[in-house]
Structure 1
Amino acid sequence: MTSTAGSPCVLLVDDDPLVLTDSLMPGMDGAELLRQVQTRYPGCLRLMLTGQADLNATIRAINEGQLYRYIAKPWNDAELRQVLQQALAYQQSERERQRLEALTQAQNRELAELNASLEARVEARTRELRQVADMLDLAYAELKQSYVTATQVFSRLITLRLPERFQTHAQVTDLLKAFAESQGLDAELSRHLTMAGALYNLGKLGWDDHLLTTPSERLFAANREAYKRYPVTGEGLLMTLDSLDDTARIIRHHRERWNGSGYPDHLKGDEIPYGARVLALAVDFIELQRGMILQRRMPREDALALLKRLAGRVYDPELCEAFVTLCIEQAPDLGLGGQGVLVVDTSRLVPGMILVRDLHTETGMLLLNEGKALTARLIERLMHFEAMEKTRYQLVVRPPEGDPA
């Protein structure tokens, strides 16, 4: 610390300079000195000794020299030392703050650069992953298509093995597709359901012709046991195709019954997979009409009535109601889904109905052609002919205009 009367004092502590000056000095007052120090050495801490008469010089020092503190004269030496110590401590803390601020800014710049680099790498990696995902999607689509192709091949094999009137897969599949759409089933369940409709007879490929052509209710003893095994056999043939696990499970359980009396596992109620419950309705509805269950072929309307009677014992009552309603309102099994058609017997015919499908006798003779508008006289003649032939006809018709189906 160096000073003389009326001259500034300079302190240097750990390279941190501090200037203490009097406000009144010959040649240059304290305010001017501190202004120049502030300009040349902004890091130097500035203090000034001043008396009551030096107020203007003090104000100038504060405004122009950015004075840290002024000390009134006369001063107390102990207090002056304390002020100087506080000033130096402040200066050191300010230097540390500036150092930390500079460090923070440098780290922020480095972090920003790292972020930019990371974003670029993430974007590049995202593009790579997107490309891989697209390739996987394509591969998965091809795999699904290969399973569909395999399903079609198996379905054709079954079709070739079965007698023509027992080739039910197309109608069953149409029914299942329409039901899935009407119930808003998700795409995955719909896919497995329709594949099960195409493959549910897979377990019958090894049967002999006699077993294939005998209605199921006429099978006894060993033949009956062989019949009961066909769902399990069908499941087993699909076990190596992992993607068809759910399809195989539907096929295995489509002969279960709502009351637990079915096979192969005697499942009951909701224990039976949803898809298997739906497949059972579609298969029985078509097979009843083809004479594959009972000794006789059952008319379509009677088959629907039988499903309703067996609801709660053989079939899920809620699904059965929805299924029967679909068949009555849309007739998807006839390839006429969504056209607002009805399948009715002669007792339900009313004038104004339009025939949607040709009507033939059992011998194949054409009675009425598609597009024919039914009149009261025509309906009466048709019922008379029915009585004479001791038969019963079902007609596929569109309701009269303005009459909801």
Structure 2
Amino acid sequence: MEEQPPMTQASKPRVLLVDDEEPILNSLRRLLRTQPYEVVLATSGAQALEIMAQQPVDLVMTDARMPNMDGATLLAHIHERYPDTVRILLTGYADLPTIIKAINDGQIDRYLSKPWSDEEMLLTLRQSLFHQDCERERIRLVQVTWDQNEQLKMLNESLEKRVLARTAELQQTADMLDLAYEELKHSYVTGTEMFSLLANLRLPPSKQTSRQTIELIRVYCKLHELDEVSSRNLIMAAALYNIGKMSWTDSMMTAPADLLHHTDRERYRSYPKQSESLLMTLDPMKDAARLILHHQERWDGSGFPDRLKGEAIPFGSRLLKLAVDFIELQRGLILERQMNSDEALVYIRQYTGKLYDPDLVEDFIKVCAAYLSDVTLADPNVKVMGTRDLAAGMVLARNLNADNGMLLLNAGKVLSGPLVEKLIAFEAMEGGKYSVFVKIPEPQEFIAATG
């Protein structure tokens, strides 16, 4: 395995495009011109390997059919020399042997077909680089752990007489690593929500659903005291359930499902599978992706994509369908008429046992009542404040979003002095006025947070 030259921390991801047809390369370069990547071109496999020997490359996307060295062979060389580089095969042929060779020898991350969909390609590149960044961060944390363990070994050899002190240090180190790991998992969920809200900005405000669906699922998890893993999977599924719709036209994305024409209806029925396919490449998303895959199944077995029936449908998928339908009925994304919340719940009751789990509906309606009455305000320690009234040590009781829907801070974030100042400055820059839901800590907690 060869080492690539180090990449500076501030540099953009470098994407290497390989194709023996220059018009194809020019077309790809135009597509990526507005993206935050440094694009490098090569017209042959040999040239691509020369480039990678001289400069670090984060992602390689190569054509399958090229003279002298085909794409599968090139990716096999890259896998052997630079295994951390993301490898994508671009093929215009239904060439199964080439794809199999690329998977077996080059261990490719994805493959795309010509002619490609611009939206799918851009999404694939973003996902691949995001996953690579997460993996690098994981490796960095592992290295930090290894370095700390090495330091502890040296300490053991030289300080045998200080057993009690060393034990305390080991426990402190373990606690810090646990905290870092928990923060990494929490940051992954927060990043998922932020990506969901950014993608949702493609829709007009009256058709946006992500924030409401996430909050409704979060209320359900809190009221039922679900374990951390189940809550995390449900929230990520709520955030990204409609990511498979991102390649649709604007008119199709805003049209009620029951008014779609036959061709569009078939495409509509494929979006859960498309969403699942996009997310299955990310290990932390696999359980959430399974919930998304089946969230349009129906209790009576008439749903899609697999026509599962009754309890064969995963519990999380049954819950997600209730939440999605409750919000989308109010947005006019299921029926032509937009319903209010009461009408949406009447509709859900009407189709209990047909579309929805009869044992889950009434409980869900109670959760909706709590969601609509704003459960955070039921807590006497939760206050609504302006940014200038905030103080270090306060804890966000629910997500804080900008006026355009972008997630600024996630619930549970402990405020610091510099963070409050940034919020005040950002609010002034936007010309808006935020209402911030915060939980006032107990006196001893406040002293610990500010001291």
Rg larger in structure: 1
